[in-house]
């Protein structure tokens, strides 16, 4: 009988836990099902330009604790909109037919795609063209539809919370407003969780536009009550009422060209002007993506990778492995491709934070 061959790739931004999934998929596929495993290099770019290698036990030994991905990744290789750069301009070309052809030449029985909403949307489109695919949800932002949590998120929250803890001493010593900017383009999960865990006095998320004068009033009220410092946690995608997100730069050859960042600088200037209180900001940036995964993320990534191999063995393609109500399950990629999973404005953690005196920049 022909030995089944599966391929695995990591696409989009990196995060802690990717190697744990690669390890779980490879080891279980070999041990339990005697599959061959092919590692695709640098996400979908490896399928476009035929860049891959066979994976064995030795290749995934010792990578559980490593951040990043041994396969490499990129967020500029959408096969349906691949950037072609000339001397004068950047144009985009649909290279999906090349991906299909290369998968056929490799004799792949199933492709495991590990990534966020962009990666899984591409996976859904390939599945609609007949590619046997199983998706694994990854993103520090925790905003993939169809699952309650993604690996990488817990590690990012740990890093952001430690940042808040460290800012507390400076804020209190110098009687300052300290602003910590964390990741979260469309969804404020990191800001919400880290803000609550770190005792943030103000938490700003993309789902709730903030009122700057109201923030200034809240800070002044705190000072009148004897609170001579304020810790503010803001997601990079947060925006003022009636305003826009803060764009750091535009990357022309990327499938998602807008890069956010810098909201903490602008907000800090406004708050210092309105309150007269010295204000400093700190941008966590890619610190939230790197480093060794937390124990929770290692376990979650391992479980998701193991579940993905079970779906392959059962012939259940076109699905993403997921966590629903603390239970491993799977959901159709068509559901995942419907957009981002945002923080509900009536989320219990928002209610808890408000009850403890935290401000979200609105009138509530």
141 catalytic residue (yes or no) = yes
d(CA 264, CA 285): 12
Tell which residue, 218, 190, 191, has the closest CA to residue 362: 218
- Return the structure tokens found at 242: 């009636």
Say what angle helices 263-275 and 212-224 make with each other, to 10 degrees.
50
Catalytic residue among 14, 141, 154, 297: 141
Tell which residue, 72, 149, 81, has the closest CA to residue 121: 81
For residue 233, report the phi and psi dihedrals to the nearest 5 degrees: -110, 125
Which residues are 134's β-sheet partners?
112, 319
Provide CB contacts within 8 A for 42, sequence distance 6+: 51, 71, 72, 73, 74, 77
Which residues are 327's β-sheet partners?
324
Provide CB contacts within 8 A for 319, sequence distance 6+: 134, 135, 311, 330, 331, 332, 333
d(CA 14, CA 75): 9
d(CA 310, CA 140): 25
The answer to whether 114 touches 321, Cβ cutoff 8 Å, is no
Catalytically active residues are 141
């Amino acid at each position: 009988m022909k030995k089944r061959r599966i391929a695995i790739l990591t696409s989009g931004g990196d995060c802690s836990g990717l190697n744990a999934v690669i390890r779980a998929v490879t080891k279980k596929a070999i041990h339990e099902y005697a599959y061959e495993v092919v590692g695709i290099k640098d996400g979908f770019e490896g399928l476009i330009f035929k860049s891959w290698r066979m994976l064995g036990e030795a290749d995934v030994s010792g990578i559980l604790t490593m951040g990043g991905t041994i396969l490499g990744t990129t967020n500029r290789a959408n096969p349906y909109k691949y950037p072609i750069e000339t001397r004068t301009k950047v144009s985009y070309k649909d290279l999906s037919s090349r991906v299909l052809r290369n998968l056929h030449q490799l004799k792949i029985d199933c492709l495991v795609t590990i990534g966020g909403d962009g990666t899984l949307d591409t996976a859904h489109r390939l599945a609609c063209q007949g590619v046997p695919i199983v998706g694994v949800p990854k993103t520090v932002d925790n905003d993939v539809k169809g699952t309650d949590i993604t690996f990488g998120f817990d590690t990012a929250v740990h890093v952001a919370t430690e940042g808040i803890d460290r800012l507390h001493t400076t804020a209190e010593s110098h009687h300052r407003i300290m602003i910590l900017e964390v990741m979260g383009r469309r969804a404020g999960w990191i800001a919400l969780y880290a803000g609550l865990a770190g005792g943030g006095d103000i938490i700003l998320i993309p789902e709730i536009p903030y009122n700057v004068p109201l923030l200034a009033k809240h800070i002044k009220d705190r000072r009148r009550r004897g609170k001579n410092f304020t810790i503010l946690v803001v997601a990079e995608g947060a925006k003022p009422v009636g305003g826009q997100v803060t764009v750091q730069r535009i990357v022309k050859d990327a499938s998602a060209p807008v890069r956010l960042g810098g909201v903490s600088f602008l907000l800090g200037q406004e708050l210092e002007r309105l309150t007269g209180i010295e204000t400093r900001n700190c941008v966590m940036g890619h610190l939230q993506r790197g480093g060794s995964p937390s124990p929770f993320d290692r376990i979650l990534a391992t479980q998701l990778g193991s579940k993905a191999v079970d779906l392959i063995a059962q012939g259940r393609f076109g699905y993403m492995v997921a966590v629903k109500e603390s239970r491993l399950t799977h959901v159709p990629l068509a559901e995942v491709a419907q957009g981002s999973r945002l923080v509900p404005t009536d989320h219990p953690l928002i209610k808890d934070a408000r009850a403890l005196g935290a401000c979200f920049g609105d009138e509530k």
